[in-house]
Structure 1
Amino acid sequence: MVKTKDILKLLNIIAPFDIAEEWDNSGLQVGNLNWEVKKVMIGLDVSLSLMMAAQKSHCDLVLTHHPLMIRAKKSIDFNKMPGKAIEIAARHGISVISAHTNLDKANDGLNDYFATKIGIEKTKVFFMDSPSSVLLDEAIGIGRIGYLKVKTPFEKVVRQIKEMLDLPYLRVTGDMQLPVSSIAVCTGSGGSLLDEFLRSKADVYVTGDIKYHEARRVEEYSKGLIDVGHFGSEHMAIDLLFEKLGQAIQKAGLNIEIERFKKEKDPFIIV
């Protein structure tokens, strides 16, 4: 019998939980480590629609990239989120696990996956944020930086990334004729790495959630910026977790069904 704790162990091999950021809340969100798991549903956010879909599909475990909660709540109200998700999990025996910044930072994790998706080669870690012995591994850290096969005008890079990620729009800063050979990426919200990007040899920074004054700084340095949005850079975590966990389950010889929740949409729309 496969239990929640067994899935947690497999995920810890894929993306070790001890490399997650200190402020993060990766790992078991709600549930019981000893509950049996026969079916897993993978999504981006622990949303009410995901939990209801998991209940309807008779899933025993929900796996997401974003945690149920980052900060502790003083009270849990079952009439609104995240209380509604917790109630569904408790009533129907559904454990919830999140792999957040550990998946972002892991070797062959989300940032590597994202970089590959937009055609970046020979990548290395963009920023190593901890002196701990765990992070002495040069393949583990925040973001990635790498190269295009050939030097390409910024305008063409923008069009290619928009097409590769199948996005309806991008927010772009910089000279469209800028020759681009090196690109830095950070999935999710990458504003905290802006200084690192400006100091680096990267021509362009691809990330999400960039603010107005941060974009102005990129202009001042005559570099390029592509804001693909938070959702745009991380919804692919569903496919990555599906692939990685599926391979791990097969290797372990376990009989577990995995399903992807693909009904999530970017909360932002352009009108």
Structure 2
Amino acid sequence: MTEAAIVASDSLWREIRSEAERAAAADPVFGKVLAGTILVHDDFAAALADLTGRRLGGSSADRARFAAFSRNAFGRAPELVEAAGHDLRAIALRDPAIAALLPPLLHFKGYVALQAWRVSNWHWRHGHVDAALLFQNEASNVLQVSIHPAASIGSSVYLDHATGIVIGANVVIGDEVTILQNVSIGRHGELPTRSPRIGRGVYIGGGATILGDISIGDFAKIGAGSVVTGDVPDGCTAVGNPARLTNCPEPASAA
């Protein structure tokens, strides 16, 4: 992690702690929860590892195991913590119902699922296949979000509502992407490399399906319930089943 990233992470943690302290002072009962989940920790990475363990683990042993897997990944790859901070700030920026950092950190399962994926992807890339698939399985069972450890996802990503999201192996998702509930993104056919590539700033509406060896261009929008099996150029909107293109910056062929 660069010096600038460390400063940003420290600033983020100070904001979270400040929010937690104010919330604890306002509600002593909730304050006890915050004391055990936020205020007891020294930094954002420790709190995030603990929260990931709490959300995925059904027993105390499982919670400890998932937290340990997360701490190991965060300690060895600080860039995961940096990306987690960007993801958290993205929620506060894009969700009109949220203006703070603490509520999505504590309560948004899409955020937890995405950080669980970041840990699973790190383990996958380092040959810890069983640990990676364990994270995927638990996130699918507990959070209803299944992201294959072999997928690639950028930062400042927001999984909004985050029920029924399925992202397959070898899918590539860029920075600043927003994905709503019941979205499926995966291959079309037998070859695993035939998976979608989602560009920067793309918005994917609820119930959309994106399949095959295709590219979704930067800042494109996929309408709710659309089925997309062809390329979508930069800035275009794809709607319908089968999807057709509209609102393109310049003439483009059908999706």
> Which of the five TM-score ranges fits, normalised by the shorter chain?
under 0.3
- Greater share of helix: 2
Structure possessing the higher relative contact order (Cα contacts under 8 Å, 6 or more residues apart) = 1
Q: What's the TM-score once normalised by structure 1's chain length? A: 0.24
